[in-house]
Each structure stands twice: as C-alpha cells, then as structure tokens.
C-alpha cells in the first residue's frame, strides 16, 4: 500500500507540532490499479510527522460494503513506541477472535478500538478486550447531532424523523484488568486524558497471557497470512 503524503500533510504537520503519536480514521483510496476502491483505514503518524503505517479494515460491516473494500493481512499494523506497542482494529473487527489474537501476538500494549457503536454492549467489548489481552484499550466514538449536518448536504431532509442526538458517543479508556481509567463520555463532545501505569500490563501478564503461558499451541493453531492479496495478478506470457 502507498499513502499519499501530500494528502496527509495537514495531519502530519499537526502530529509534528504536538510531538505526539497520533492515530486517525480515514477513507483511504486504493493503490494504482484499484484506485477506485476505498478502504476504511487507521492511519498511524509519528511525533516527527511521519507516516508509520495504516490498517485497512478486514471486513466492512453490513452496508459498509457498499462503500469500502476489504483489507488483507498485510496491514495488520503495529507501531513500536517508547510507551509500548500500539495497534488496534476498527469497530466490529474487534468481534473477530482470531483478528484480536493476531494483535495480541504482536505484543500490543496500547490497543485502539475506534467505533460507531454507541450501545452498552460495546463497553462490555472494550472491557473484555482489555482483560483478554492484558492491555490498555482506548475506545473512541463520535458524538454528533442532527444539526451538525450541513443544510445543503444531499438527502439531509431524510433525517427529519430522527432524534436530534444521532450518536451519543462513548469514548473510554480501560486498564489491563478491565476497569475504567476514564468512564465512557456520553452526550457531549470532549477529549479524554489519562496517565497510564504501564506496569499494569506486566502485572496482568503474570497471571494471564493469552498468547503466552495461557495458550495451548499443541491444541490450537493460528496461521495469519500477512502477504498482500491484490484482486488481480498479471503474469507475463510464455512465448516459448
């Protein structure tokens, strides 16, 4: 995959100005050859304003398949930082047990789980992942109201019968034992800030390491294909 650096310039400059690792959801245009395909992706930026990688959602959910294509195993991205290994999955990818296991096997200690799911059951998912992976889970969800849509947006009138609050949010931070560091933020826009005790990751792995001493490789095997899987491969003709 090749990301266009000019199109991400504003984001990269913001990360560099703040001196932070930043991860943001984007609609990514496919590489040359399938440039008409869009992907629901996570973009990883470094504190120097560099692109560290991206993850394309493996399986668009429901009607998302009308918009986005399916990613492949080559973008099961993780980023090594001074704070530990950062990685994650997008929305309902987190309901894929084998995808989660692949991320745990990469040593993820800061697990990102952005979503559009505002239900209470999603909070149970965040807490389960934290316990299962013995990692910090950063859950991010949008808050938006009907009035936030531009009035000149096509089909905006179809929202007339919907409630004013279209998504209540629910961003949260969970520690490796499944407890909230920051409770879910509902009903307002905002930013969550927290200091994370990274020693809790090691403490958690002492009694449960899902890809370590608590795994049974003699019983279960997980094979992850991380090779790019293009839709079309062209081979040269054999003229012999």
Tens-place pLDDT, residues 146-183: 999 898 988 888 888 999 999 999 999 999 999 999 99
Q: Which of 115, 111, 156, 160 is nearest to 138 (CA)?
A: 111
Domain 76-240 fold: Nitrilase/N-carbamoyl-D-aminoacid amidohydrolase (3.60.110)
Q: What is the mean pLDDT of residues 71-88?
A: 96
Contact 175, 200 (CB under 8 A): yes
User: Which of 44-53, 113-122, 150-159, 206-215 shows the lowest mean pLDDT across its residues?
Assistant: 150-159
Q: What is the pLDDT of residue 236?
A: 79
Q: If you average pLDDT over every residue of the chain, what do you get?
A: 93
Q: Is the pLDDT of residue 35 over 70?
A: no
Contacts 24+ apart (CB under 8 A), 80-85: 81/21, 81/110, 83/21, 83/109, 83/110, 83/196, 83/198, 84/109, 84/110, 84/198, 84/201, 85/109, 85/110
Spell out the domain ranges in the chain: 1-72, 76-240
Asked if residue 118 has pLDDT above 70, the reply is yes
Spell out a b/e string for 39-71, using b for 16 or more CB atoms within 10 Å of the CB, else e: bbbbbbbbbebebbbbbbbbbbbeeeeeebbeb
* Banded pLDDT at 31 (limits 50, 70, 90): confident
Q: From the CA atom positions of the chain, what is the Rg in Å?
A: 20
- Which of the residue ranges 3-7, 77-81, 133-137, 206-210 would you say has the lowest mean pLDDT? 3-7
Residue 234 structure tokens: 């062209």
pLDDT, average across residues 10-24:
96
Over residues 122-135, mean pLDDT: 98
CA distance 16 to 173: 24
pLDDT band at 231 (very low <50, low <70, confident <90, very high): confident
Residues 88, 113: contact at Cβ < 8 Å? yes
Give the start-end residues of each E strand in 7-126: 22-29, 38-45, 51-56, 78-81, 84-88, 108-115
Coil, strand or helix: which one is 205? helix
Average pLDDT over residues 107-111: 98
pTM for the full predicted model: 0.92
The whole-angstrom separation of Cα 46 and Cα 79 is: 9
């Amino acid at each position: 995959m090749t990301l266009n650096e000019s199109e991400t310039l504003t984001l990269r400059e913001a990360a560099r100005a703040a001196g932070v690792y930043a991860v943001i959801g984007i609609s990514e245009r496919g590489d040359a050859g399938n440039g008409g395909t869009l992907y629901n992706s996570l973009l990883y930026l470094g504190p120097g304003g560099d692109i560290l990688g991206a993850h394309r959602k493996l399986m668009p959910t429901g009607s998302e398949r009308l918009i986005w294509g399916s990613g492949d195993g080559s973008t099961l991205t993780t980023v090594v930082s001074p704070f530990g290994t950062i990685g994650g999955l997008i929305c309902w990818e987190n309901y894929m047990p084998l995808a989660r296991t692949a991320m745990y096997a990469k040593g993820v200690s800061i697990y990102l789980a952005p979503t559009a799911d505002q239900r209470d059951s999603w909070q149970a998912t965040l807490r389960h992942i934290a316990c299962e992976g013995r990692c910090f889970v950063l859950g991010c969800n949008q808050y938006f109201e009907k009035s936030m849509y531009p009035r000149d947006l096509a089909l905006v009138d179809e929202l007339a019968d919907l409630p004013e609050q279209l998504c209540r949010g629910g961003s949260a931070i969970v520690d490796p034992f499944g407890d909230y560091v920051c409770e879910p933020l509902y009903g307002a826009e905002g930013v969550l800030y927290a200091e994370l005790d990274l020693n809790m990751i090691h403490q958690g792995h002492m009694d449960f390491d899902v890809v370590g001493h608590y795994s049974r490789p003699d019983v279960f095997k997980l094979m992850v294909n991380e090779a790019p899987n293009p839709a079309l491969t062209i081979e040269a003709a054999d003229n012999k």
